[in-house]
Each structure stands twice: as structure tokens, then as C-alpha cells.
Chain A
Amino acid sequence: MPVRVLVVEDDDRIRAALRLALTEEQYDVTEAAGAEEALELHAESPPDVMLVDLMLGGMDGFDLIRRIRQVSDVPAIVVSARGDTHDVVAALEAGADDYVVKPVVMKELTARIRAVRRRAAARPAPRDGDADAARAEALVLAPGGEDGPSLEFSAKAGWLKRDGREVPLTATEFRLLAELAVHLGRVLSRPQLLQLVWDYDHLGDDRLVDVTVRRLRIKLETDPSNPKHLVTLRGRGYRLQASS
């Protein structure tokens, strides 16, 4: 079954060209000229991947991604003419999984689509059936109690639970947490994380790591500005640690 890609782009010619090129690569392309149309199409039937331009008439790309994130963790790649750091960071913080600056090389774009798809696919669908079994082998980051809420993560069952309630994670956030959990207590550098989480050897951008870590902290930490579990080691990378 072909991968369904929703292209959100207000420039007709770019949209048409992307449709042609992606169709050529065997993708099933749906087009949206604006954020509102994209939201409707997404509500009708969520695509496998979204390509989002930031400058749209009406609601912009940042808001679109934020709205989508409230209801779904569909992988979203920003395709924008603006490559300034603050645009990249704002888009990733809004919930985008990746960021490409125009003009895109099709080979690179399809590589990125495949990578976000792999991340999404690597995440197991939540299984309610053997919840007890999943819990038994879950990683307990914080036992809960007076110090703060309990925090449990199960890579196998695909959930992060805070005080027993599941915290929604995007595919990228999940993959990042899973890799850090496998290397619990050990430092992973940004290039290592780009390789492990994003499958990028050279497409990577350190900002991807930094912003995703920041987003994950908001979901993980009691005080994201003073992290206890996902800590930064200046100049070296990041480390996940359980409460002592």
C-alpha cells in the first residue's frame, strides 16, 4: 500500500511540482492549499506523513502543526523557504518532526520521509491486553510519592505514564526517549542521537536534537527548566537518569 502524503503548500506551482515528484516516487499524494483544508483532510482520514509549508494564507504552518498535534502524532516535516534558526526552532517546538529548507532535493526529501516513517513504525501500538506484563518490565524513572509524580516508560508497550496516566508522545519523542532509556545513565552525543533516533548520517542538524529534548522535557519533568531525568552535559550531550 503506497504511503499517503499530505502536501500543505499555498503556492500552486510548488504544490503541483511536489505532487508530480512524489507521485513519481510512488507516494499517494493529497494536496491542501491552506491550513483549514489540511485540517479537514486530516480529520477525514489522517495521512501517513505531512509536508507543511510555514507561510500559508490564513492560519500559518506553526498553528497548523500545533492543532494537528492536539489530535494526532502523524509525522510532520516542515518544508520552508526560511532557514533561520528561530523559524526552525519554532517549527520543531510546535511539534514538527523534521525541517527541510527549500529548494528541496527530492532524494533528500524522500530520505527524510522514510526516516520519519521508520520512527513512527518502530513505535508499537499501545496494547491494552497485556498491560500488566508491560508494566512489569517498564522502566521506572520516578517511583512517585512526596518528591513528585511517578514516571514509568515502556518501550515495548509504547507508552510513557505519569502518575499512571499515559502522556501522548510523537513518534520522534518516543524514539528519542526509547534510545535514551536503552542507554540509561550514559551520555549520548548529538551526532549519536541523530544517528540513532533520526537515522541521519549527514542530513542531521543539532537543533533537531535540542528542540526535541526540550519538548520531551515538558512532558517528562516536573520543572522542565531544571531537569532531573533528562539532563544536559554541556558540550557532550544528553543523559537519561532515574531518580535515586
Chain B
Amino acid sequence: MRLRLRSRVALAFAAGALLLSVLLVSEIYAVASRYLVDQRDRSAGRQAVVNATLLSTKVTAGTDPQESLAEIRTGAGVDTLLHYQGGWYSGAVGLGPDDLPPSLTALVASGEPGFQRYADGQGVVVVTVGVPLASGGEYYEVVQLTTLERTLDTVLLTGMVAAGLTTLMGAGLGVWAARRVLRPLEDVTRTAAQLASGDLDARMPSTYDPDLAPIAGSFNAMARTLSDRIQRDSRFAADVSHELRSPLTTMTASVSVLESRREQLPSAAQEATDLISADLARFAQLLEDLLDLSRDVAPLALDDLPEVPLVDVVRRVLASHGGDLPEPVVEGDTRVRGDARRLERIVANLVENADRYGGGVVGVAVVERGTRVRIVVDDAGPGVPVAEQEVVFERFSRGTPAQSRGSRLGTGLGLSLVREHALAHGGGAWYEDRPGGGARFVVDLPGAEL
């Protein structure tokens, strides 16, 4: 799994901080420990030499070696051991010659002072300094390095804590920096979302930052090109439709003359007239549908639109349709806000669809459902297979025309316009199986009292 960019930046900063602080802490620790140990060794050596001289004077003057040793003053954690005239004398702790490293005792016995650092029987690090006495014999001081160890431990712990804190701060800095750097990207995201939701005038805020200006500039240029293109396309569709309307007017008016003189025409000409007449109607409808589709797809500002009682719209469409249509079932308050013409298209297209593919309308209902109003149109056809229940709402999708009502072929835009108009009104359109067989198309719109 890829981490988010923000997390990755934070992680990189944290790793960098950790590496740097660990290097720094270990260097400080190494230097400090070398220096402190060195210091301790020197001071232990100096102290032993001073004490050895004192001891040598005392034993030469005839003082008992044990007493002389007891009189020697040493710091805490220092044990003493004296080898004089074949006897071993020990300080407070009672060390024996066996506690000393043999290599050291051999060296000192040969008349050379020496020191050695090692861990004693209990694992405590000690440094033992051996000095030959002028009076003969050898003097040893065993210095425990516990204090020094503790100091160094403290240094190490402090360093580790500091490294940890630095790492955390590095991560924090990384988060901040990532957010800082990603902010223009968030602007891009927001603006792109606005564009996607249909606000073609959305642009990125202008900036003077030379690093960011190119992004904002090229993004805005892209948005401009896109919205120009969309506007040009929809203007083109509208212009084409307008231009097509003029010749279509000539044709429909002329064909109406032919139709009214149909009886005077030879039968082949009659058939030709019928064909032209039928397809002219289809052509005109297609033009209207295309014009509708080329219009602004943005949702309507419902608050500014008048209240329309859907039941009136449905009645009007059913009345203009003529033929034997069932009386609509009405329940509750059917007022919606919207464009009466587009609402009329919804109902008319549903009725035409039922005629064309469903063997005619068998039931129409306009019902209030909570805060919504639904139009339900049932037909007597075979219904729509599951696989095609969404496809029927796509543009230029056509079912198999029902055998009834002749060969009127639709534009293939009817149901997609139903859905488009419903969406523009803040609603939706879908298919259901009618209980008892047949198709049921439902359009669901927000009620006026919202």
C-alpha cells in the first residue's frame, strides 16, 4: 500500500531528524566518555603516586604497614592494597592479591608503575593503579568507575531523549511543510471539483508566488479552454437547431397541403406523402429533443421557479394526447417547483414511451410521498429485462416497438430527456416492474413545500 504524500513527506523529515540527532548524540557521547575516562585515569594515577610516597615515608619511619595504610585518605569507591616485605595489607574492603590482574602485579613488582582498566568479579569497571614504593614493596589503588559510568549513562539517556524529541519535531515539520506545499494542490482540487459540478466559471485564485503562478495559470487556461469549448458546442447545437427550423417549417407547411389533398394523389404519391409526413414529425421532435439536451445541464434554481401542480400538468398532457387514456390517480399535495414546459415534456415522453414500447398507458398516478411527489406511468407491455433497466435511460437507446399503434419510431431520446429534466428539478427517474406484469416508470421530484 502506498502511503499518502503527506505521510511520506512527514516520514522523510522524521527519518532525517533521527539520523542527524543519533549521529550528533553518539559523537557527543564518544568525545565525552573519552575525555572523562582519561581525566579519571590521570587523577587516579596522580592520587596513587602521592599516596605511595606518603606510605613509603611512613613505613620507612617504622610505622606498622597496616596502620600506615589506614591513615591513607582516599576518595569514595577507592580500595587500597599494600605489598610490603612479603606481606599483603588491605584497606577497608579487604582485597587480596588475587583480585588484581597478574600482569599488572608482575609489572609493578619489577619496579615499573602501571595501570589497568577491567571489570572485576562483580562486573564493576575498575581501574587499578600500581606504584612501586621507594622503601620497597608495591602500592595499589583500585578505583571503581561507577560514578563515571553513571554520568556517561545520563549523558547517553539525555542524548537519546533529545534525539527522540528531534525526530518528533522533524515529523511535525514534515507535516507542516507537506501541508504548506500541498495547499496549492488543494486549491486545484477544489476548483476542479467546482468545474466538475458544472460551475464553468470556477477559477484558481491568482498568486504572485513564482513557483505557483504557472500551476494556477495553466490550470485556469485549461478551465477557460474547456468552458469555451462547452459553450461553443452547446451554442453550435442551438444554432444548428435554429437553422434547421426554417427549412423544416417550409416542409411541414407544404406537407400539410399535400395531406389535405391526399385524396387527389395517386396511391404511390399518397404513400410517399405519408412517409414524408411521419418522418417530418419525427425530425421535428428529434430537433426539439436535441435542443433540450444541448441546453444548460446545470440544476435549476428551484426557489425562483413558480409552483406547478403536477396533477394539472399530467391532466393537460393526457388531454392533448387524446385517445382512451385512464384517469390519473391523485393522492395528496402534488405541487412542485419547476419549469412547466419541462415537466410537461417528462409526462409526455413517459406517455409516448408507453405507447411506443409498452402497448399503451394502463395507469397514471400522481402521488405525494413525504416531501416528494411522484409520477407513475404503467403500461401493458412485456416490461423491461433487468439488464436493460438502466440502458433505456441512455441516449438513442431504443427498445423493440410494440406491435400496436403502427410503426411510429421514436427519437430514442425520450427517456433520457425524462431523466435529464427530472435531475434538473432535483429529482430522479427509474424503472420498476409493475405488479401484475408490464413496465412502470417512476419520476420522483421534490415537493414545493420544502
Contacts and interface: CB of A to CB of B under 8 A. Distances in A.
B297 interface: no
Given A21-B257, A81-B242, A201-B319, A104 B249 contact: yes
Interface stretch (A10-18, A171-179, A222-230): A10-18
Interface size class of A (residues with CB under 8 A): 20 to 34
Nearest to B260: A24
A202 B319 contact: yes
Q: Give the bracket for the number of chain B residues in contact with chain A.
A: 20 to 34
Nearest to B340: A206
Contacts of A20: 253-254, 257
Contact of A18 (B253, B335, B340): B253
A61 to B, nearest CB: 14
A101 B317 CA distance: 19
Interface in A224-244: 234-236
A105 interface: yes
A66 B370 CA distance: 49
Task: Select the residue from A103, A190, A206, A234 with max chain B CB neighbours within 10 A.
Answer: A103
Given A81-B246, A206-B340, A106 B316 contact: no
B249 A103 contact: yes
Interface in A1-40: 11, 13-14, 16-18, 20-21, 24-25
A102 B246 CA distance: 7
A67 B242 CA distance: 26
A46 interface: no
A17 B253 contact: yes
Interface string B283-296: 01001000100000
Given A24-B257, A105-B252, A235-B448, A205 B246 contact: no
A26 to B, nearest CB: 11
A104 B252 contact: yes
Contact of B307 (A16, A79, A235): A235
Contact of B256 (A14, A24, A189, A202): A24
A183 interface: no
Given A20-B254, A24-B257, A235-B307, A103 B316 contact: no
B253 A106 contact: yes
A11 B306 contact: no
Contacts of B229: none
B342 to A, nearest CB: 12
Contacts of A206: 306, 340
A79 B246 CA distance: 11
A114 interface: no
A82 interface: yes
Contact of A103 (B284, B307, B340, B448): B284
B262 to A, nearest CB: 12
A103 B257 contact: no
Given A20-B254, A235-B335, A202 B316 contact: yes
B320 A201 contact: yes
B248 interface: yes
A20 B245 CA distance: 18
Most buried by A among B250, B260, B307, B309: B250
Contacts of A14: 246, 249-250, 253
A102 B295 CA distance: 18
Given A24-B260, A103-B284, A17 B250 contact: yes
A104 B242 contact: no
Q: Across chains A and B, which 9 residue pairs bring their CB atoms closest together, nearest first?
A: A202-B320, A235-B307, A17-B253, A103-B248, A106-B256, A81-B245, A21-B253, A102-B245, A103-B249
23 contacts: A11-B250, A13-B247, A14-B250, A18-B249, A20-B257, A21-B257, A24-B256, A24-B260, A81-B242, A81-B246, A102-B246, A102-B249, A103-B245, A103-B252, A104-B249, A105-B284, A191-B312, A201-B316, A204-B316, A206-B340, A234-B307, A235-B335, A235-B448
Given A14-B246, A202-B320, A234-B306, 12 more contacts: A11-B250, A13-B250, A14-B249, A14-B250, A24-B256, A101-B245, A103-B249, A105-B256, A189-B309, A191-B316, A202-B317, A235-B306
Interface of A: 11, 13-14, 16-18, 20-21, 24-25, 79, 81-83, 101-107, 189-191, 201-202, 204-206, 234-236
